[in-house]
Amino acid sequence: MTRVDPKTPYTKDYLATLGSAAWRKLKRKKCEEAEYSCEKCGTWSKSLELHHKHYRTIGREQCCDVLLLCSCCHRIEDGKRIRKKRNQRLKGIMTFGDKKYGRNWEALIPFNEVADEFDRWLKKRGRKTRGHKCK
């Protein structure tokens, strides 16, 4: 997948999905089902946004794959996703350091060095590293 801008998580396919007739139809259906109310806080608005619960169904989303949110709740949900990804990364680095250097390695080796080593290890195995954004 080609990123529109390497600094963003958005691919051309993703942006095409957001501009598609199918996406507009899905949003209209969700708005009608929820009576134009945010599915988190209940705020009524004509300018609600669709939020992906996950990215496994990009381009073929169903109502169960998205939430209808006000802009405030959408920012909160996106923030939760970012924090979860960060926490997963931190846990991975800590486990990697423990297994390679033993408990309390943080007192002996700079964290950034182990994080870089962890990224190289992931890359060697074809996995995403910190340089990649969520899709």
d(CA 42, CA 102): 49
Q: Where are the beta strands (DSSP E) in 7-80?
A: 49-52, 66-69
d(CA 89, CA 119): 10
Backbone phi, psi, residue 130, to 5°: -60, -20
Residues 9-34 pLDDT 10s = 667 778 888 889 999 999 999 999 99
pTM equals 0.65
- pLDDT above 90 covers what percent of the chain? 54
Burial environment of residue 97 by CB neighbours within 10 A (0 to 12, 13 to 18, 19 or more): buried
